[in-house]
Structure 1
Amino acid sequence: MPDMEKIKKKISTDPFARMLGVRFDELGEGYVKLSMQVRDDMLNFNGSMHGGVIFSLADIAFSAASNSHGTVAVALHADITYLKAVPPGSTLVATGVEKNKTRRTGLYSITIDDADGNHIAVFQGVVYRIDQPLF
């Protein structure tokens, strides 16, 4: 069984995630829950949250969930469907769940919701596990 505290500490040092203000709320094997406050510098020219920031939050959750087994996992494919615009000041919650895991691959589903539980986006990704420990 992997050392989840050590893995969480490693994953939460991600400089890009820190720049976005992502909080690593929960981490378990094949599971993660993150949250982030929408800032004014994350908005697009229409005044709603930039889709790239939403994708980044989902991608960070994808990375955390897929690397939570203590073995390096790298993305092979990712896609996202945007469902609702996000106004400034909102809090977003990303929940990542492992749907399938083999020795070499994994399938992950990430949902992005606002604080009221409204679905903002759904993301799905596939990873390849390289034969290398996370530490």
Structure 2
Amino acid sequence: MRVMVFVKATTDSEAEETPAPSAELLEAMGRYNNELVDAGILLAGDGLKPSKHGKRVAFDGASRTVIDGPFAETKELVAGYWLWQVRDMDHALEWVKRCPNPMPGPSEIEIRPLYEMSDFEATMSPEAASLHEGARSKLGN
């Protein structure tokens, strides 16, 4: 099972005036990431710059509207992510509980399972399956 693990943004992570993470936190996260790699769980992961450097695109039919950051509701923003391959949700929870606190103060990490093509078997046409498989094979997945 693949899961996306989101490190939720905080007021501090959204403020560029905040000092960079401490050497201790960077080392702890580095050790944790190495444990994930050694366990064969980590597929990808990175931190994100504050939302003021981002953009959103709102869709309404054929219309597209670009919205410049920063975005309101810091608690709904993502400051970083991991993509993991785990046995099940309990396995993912075990690993998240081992994570160092990713922020200087209170923080949250969210775990969400990814859809797999098998989730769409009932409605997947052979043409759609071929298109999706072609994209995955180009990516080496």
TM-score (norm 1): 0.25
If you compute each CA radius of gyration, which structure gives the higher value, 1 or 2? 2
More strand by share: 1
Q: Which has the higher contact order (CA 8 A, sep 6+)?
A: 2
- So what's the TM-score if we normalise by structure 2? 0.24
